[in-house]
Amino acid sequence: MRETADGWSAEMAVPVETVHQSGMDLRRLQLNAMAQSHTPRGLETVFLTDPRYGTKFRSCLGFLRLVPKPAARPRPRRFTVRLHFAEIEDVVPGQRIFDVAIQGKTVAKQLDVIR
Lowest mean pLDDT among 24-33, 58-67, 91-100: 58-67
d(Cα 32, Cα 11) in Å, to the nearest integer?
Answer: 14
pTM to 2 decimal places: 0.36
Contacts with 35 (C-beta within 8 Å, 6 or more apart), sequence order: 45, 46
- The residue type of 50 is D
d(Cα 82, Cα 85) in Å, to the nearest integer?
Answer: 10
Backbone angles phi, psi at 26, to 5 degrees: -55, -30
Report, as an integer, the average pLDDT of 82-104: 84
d(Cα 64, Cα 10) in Å, to the nearest integer?
Answer: 9
Number of domains composing the chain:
2
- Domain range spanning residue 10? 2-62
Please count the other Cβ atoms lying within 10 Å of the Cβ belonging to residue 24.
12
What is the structure's pLDDT at 110?
A: 93
d(Cα 78, Cα 56) in Å, to the nearest integer?
Answer: 41
Q: Are residues 57 and 92 in the same domain?
A: no
pLDDT digits (tens, 9 = 90+) for 52-70: 555 544 444 454 455 566 6
106 versus 88: which is more confidently predicted?
106
In a domain, 113, yes or no: yes
Q: Are residues 54 and 93 in the same domain?
A: no
